Amino acid sequence: MKTYEYSLSDAFDVIPRLGLIVLQADETLEGEVCNEFRDLESTIYVSRIPSGLDVTTDSLAQMELDLPNAAGLLPRGCAFDVVAYGCTSGTSVVGANRVRDLVKGGVDARHVTDPLSATIAWCHAHGVKRLALLSPYVADVNEGLRRALSDAGIETPVFGSFNIAKEAAVARISETSIVQAGIDLCESEDVDALFLSCTNLRTVGARAAIGAATGRSVVSSNSVLCWHMKHLIAD
């Protein structure tokens, strides 16, 4: 065997460097984030975290135990500008501060965000205090999310759900179903914007259609997560 001298380069030292922790069951978030950042000279490293077949408060709480390992599977040879944990309801169960600490315990990250923190930041930045909320979740998961938003000063007086427990079904909810439900919720005069919750919900086309039909601002877990990541990069 011949042994060769070598030098090290900084070819992989791209800025910004982004990490994304995606639920095992999520079929939507990874593609949408990569598409949103396609024009930015950055690299997105993705890790997966185990998630239950059913979305329950117990299955969401389990991610508190798995999150450090999932974060630790991101490359260790570099520091990250932002690491995003991709679960709205999971954050409402575990707590945003706890999520941040768990992620930072597994990976070197300057900033940590999640869809719940991103939603709150977006609402505060845009003066939104009352959201219409559409989610796919079952009742107890919904209540935890609404309570977390309320604690941040954001009310959800208009609320609807597809009441789905099976995670695999969420990514297959049709755009037509989302648009119809979103337009119905936007009929209330008592809200400032519509929030489509869940990173596994396919909302890109639905957001545009609902906004065009109602004149409302329409955001989703994925859109606010990307918005917040870009904001944190610039911080």
* Alpha carbon distance 220, 198 (integer Å): 8
Spell out the per-residue pLDDT of the chain, length 235, in tens.
999 999 987 656 667 889 999 999 999 999 999 999 988 777 899 999 999 887 878 888 888 999 999 999 999 878 899 999 999 999 999 999 999 999 999 999 999 999 999 999 999 999 999 999 999 998 888 899 999 999 999 999 999 999 998 888 999 999 999 999 999 999 988 899 999 999 999 999 999 999 999 999 999 999 999 999 999 998 7
Hey, how many other C-beta atoms are within 10 angstroms of the C-beta on 45? 16
Its pTM stands at 0.93
Can you give the C-alpha Rg of the chain in angstroms? 18
> What distances in angstroms separate CA 198 from CA 8, 12, 152, one per listed residue?
42, 32, 19
* Alpha carbon distance 117, 149 (integer Å): 9
The three-class DSSP label of residue 202 is: coil
The three-class DSSP label of residue 210 is: helix
* Alpha carbon distance 3, 149 (integer Å): 59
* Alpha carbon distance 27, 143 (integer Å): 24
Phi, psi of 158 (to 5 degrees): -115, 120
